[in-house]
Amino acid sequence: MDNNQNPGGLNVAANSNPQQNTNNIQRSSSASPREGYAPRQRRVYSSPSNQNAGQGNPNQGPNRPSRGGYQSRNTSQGPRTGGQGNRNYRGGQGGQNRRFSPNRGNTGGQIIRKRRFPDEMIQTSSAKGWNDSKNYQFKDNYEGTKLRLIPISGLEMIGTNCTVLEYENDIMIIDAGLGFPDIDQVGIDSLVPNLSYVYDKIANIRGLVITHGHTDHIGGLSQIYDKIGFPTIYAPRLAAEMIREKFKETGFADRAKIVEIDGDSSYYLGKFHLSHFRMNHTIMDNYGIVIDTPVGRIMTPSDYKFDLTPYKESPSDYSKLAKLGDEGVLLLMDESTNVKIKGWAPSESAIAHDLEDTIRDSHGRLIIGMFSTMISRIRQIMEISARYNKKVAVLGRSLETNAKISHRLGYIDVTTSTFIPLEEIRNYPDDQIVILTTGSQGEPNAALMRMAYDEHRRIQLKQSDTVVFSSSRIPGNEGRIDKLINKIAEKGVRILTNDHLTLHASGHGCKEDHKLMLQLTKPKFLLPIHGEASMLAANKELAMGLGMKEENVIIGHDGAVIELWPDGWKIVDTIESSPLWVEGNRVGDFDLKITEERKLLSDEGVIVVTLKNFASEQITLQDIEITHKGFFVQNKDNYMRTEFPNKIVEVVNRMNPDRDKENVRVNLHRQVEREIEMKYEKKPLIIVSLV
Ligand SMILES: [Zn+2]
Ligand SMILES: [Zn+2]
pLDDT at position 456 over 70: yes
**Under 8 Å between Cβ of 488 and 458:** no
How many angstroms does the Cα of residue 616 sit away from the middle of ligand 2? Answer: 64
Question: Would you tell me how many other CB atoms lie within 10 Å of the CB of residue 658?
Answer: 7
Residues in contact with 73: Cβ distance below 8 Å, sequence separation at least 6, in sequence order? 79, 592
Instruction: Output the pLDDT for position 132.
Output: 52
pLDDT digits (tens, 9 = 90+) for 577-618: 999 999 888 888 667 788 888 888 988 999 999 999 887 888
Cα angle 619-625-630, degrees, rounded to a multiple of 5: 150
Higher pLDDT, 483 or 46: 483
pLDDT at position 19 over 60: no
pLDDT at position 576 over 70: yes
**Under 8 Å between Cβ of 228 and 606:** no
Instruction: Output the pLDDT for position 350.
Output: 86
d(Cα 438, Cα 358) in Å, to the nearest integer? 19
**Which protein residues have their CB within 5 A of the ion that is ligand 1?**
214, 303
How many angstroms does the Cα of residue 136 sit away from the middle of ligand 1? Answer: 34
pLDDT at position 426 over 70: yes
Share of the chain above pLDDT 70, in %: 80
How many angstroms does the Cα of residue 212 sit away from the middle of ligand 2? Answer: 8
Instruction: Output the pLDDT for position 64.
Output: 39
Kindly list the strands in the beta sheet with 586-587, ordered across the sheet, starting from the edge strand earlier in the chain.
Answer: 190-192, 580-583, 586-587
Cα angle 438-152-533, degrees, rounded to a multiple of 5: 75
d(Cα 190, Cα 568) in Å, to the nearest integer? 36
How many angstroms does the Cα of residue 285 sit away from the middle of ligand 2? Answer: 14
Q: Identify which of 250, 188, 43 has the alpha carbon closest to the alpha carbon of residue 579.
A: 188
Rounded to an integer, the average pLDDT of 221-225 is: 96
Rounded to an integer, the average pLDDT of 301-322 is: 95
Residues in contact with 13: Cβ distance below 8 Å, sequence separation at least 6, in sequence order? 113, 114, 115, 266, 273, 275
Q: Identify which of 652, 648, 604 has the alpha carbon closest to the alpha carbon of residue 628.
A: 604
Residues in contact with 518: Cβ distance below 8 Å, sequence separation at least 6, in sequence order? 130, 332, 334, 526, 542, 543, 546, 548
Strands 580-583 and 606-611: unpaired
d(Cα 662, Cα 664) in Å, to the nearest integer? 5
Higher pLDDT, 145 or 77: 145
Instruction: Output the pLDDT for position 508.
Output: 95
How many angstroms does the Cα of residue 342 sit away from the middle of ligand 2? Answer: 19
How many angstroms does the Cα of residue 153 sit away from the middle of ligand 2? Answer: 12
How many angstroms does the Cα of residue 303 sit away from the middle of ligand 2? Answer: 5
Q: Which ligand is nearest to the CA of 238?
A: 1
Instruction: Output the pLDDT for position 599.
Output: 87
Which residue stretches of 425-566 are H helix? Answer: 447-452, 478-489, 511-521, 533-545
Phi, psi dihedral angles at 110 (to 5 degrees):
-120, 140
Instruction: Output the pLDDT for position 81.
Output: 34
Instruction: Output the pLDDT for position 177.
Output: 97
Cα angle 648-653-659, degrees, rounded to a multiple of 5: 110
Which residue stretches of 528-591 are H helix? Answer: 533-545
pLDDT at position 55 over 60: no
Assign 481 to helix, strand or coil. helix
d(Cα 172, Cα 149) in Å, to the nearest integer? 10
Assign 664 to helix, strand or coil. helix
Q: Identify which of 306, 298, 305 has the alpha carbon closest to the alpha carbon of residue 333.
A: 298
CA dihedral 296, 297, 298, 300 (to 10 degrees): -170
Give me Rg for the CA atoms of the chain.
29
Note the Cα 244 to chain centre separation in Å: 20
Q: Identify which of 136, 153, 177, 481 has the alpha carbon closest to the alpha carbon of residue 328.
A: 136
Q: H helices then E strands: how many in the chain?
A: 16, 25
Note the Cα 352 to chain centre separation in Å: 28
Q: Identify which of 565, 563, 541 has the alpha carbon closest to the alpha carbon of residue 553.
A: 541
Confidence grade of residue 90 (pLDDT, cut at 50, 70, 90): very low
| Percentage helix, strand, coil for the chain under 3-state DSSP, each rounded to 5 | 30, 20, 50
d(Cα 30, Cα 363) in Å, to the nearest integer? 70
pLDDT digits (tens, 9 = 90+) for 617-676: 888 999 999 999 999 888 888 888 889 999 999 988 888 777 788 888 999 999 999 999
pLDDT at position 466 over 70: yes
Rounded to an integer, the average pLDDT of 328-341 is: 96
d(Cα 542, Cα 342) in Å, to the nearest integer? 11
How many angstroms does the Cα of residue 14 sit away from the middle of ligand 2? Answer: 27
d(Cα 432, Cα 450) in Å, to the nearest integer? 23
Strands 272-278 and 287-293: antiparallel
Confidence grade of residue 30 (pLDDT, cut at 50, 70, 90): very low
pLDDT digits (tens, 9 = 90+) for 184-215: 788 888 999 999 999 999 999 999 999 999 99
Average pLDDT for the chain: 82
d(Cα 524, Cα 678) in Å, to the nearest integer? 61
How many angstroms does the Cα of residue 11 sit away from the middle of ligand 1? Answer: 25
Q: Which ligand is nearest to the CA of 282?
A: 1
Share of the chain above pLDDT 90, in %: 61
Confidence grade of residue 531 (pLDDT, cut at 50, 70, 90): very high
Strands 523-529 and 329-335: parallel
Report the amino acid identity of residue 519: Q
Phi, psi dihedral angles at 368 (to 5 degrees):
-110, 115
How many angstroms does the Cα of residue 237 sit away from the middle of ligand 1? Answer: 15
d(Cα 216, Cα 634) in Å, to the nearest integer? 47
Note the Cα 20 to chain centre separation in Å: 37
How many angstroms does the Cα of residue 238 sit away from the middle of ligand 1? Answer: 13
- Helices 511-521 and 533-545 pack at an angle, to 10 degrees, of 60
Residues in contact with 29: Cβ distance below 8 Å, sequence separation at least 6, in sequence order? none
pLDDT digits (tens, 9 = 90+) for 60-89: 333 333 333 333 333 333 333 333 333 333
d(Cα 223, Cα 128) in Å, to the nearest integer? 41
Residue 233 bridge partners (DSSP): 208, 258
**Under 8 Å between Cβ of 337 and 303:** yes
How many angstroms does the Cα of residue 335 sit away from the middle of ligand 1? Answer: 10
Half-sphere exposure of 158 (CA within 13 A, CB side): 12
Instruction: Output the pLDDT for position 130.
Output: 52
How many angstroms does the Cα of residue 497 sit away from the middle of ligand 1? Answer: 22
**Under 8 Å between Cβ of 264 and 301:** no
How many angstroms does the Cα of residue 162 sit away from the middle of ligand 2? Answer: 10
Half-sphere exposure of 408 (CA within 13 A, CB side): 11
Instruction: Output the pLDDT for position 128.
Output: 46
Report the amino acid identity of residue 60: Q
d(Cα 588, Cα 579) in Å, to the nearest integer? 8
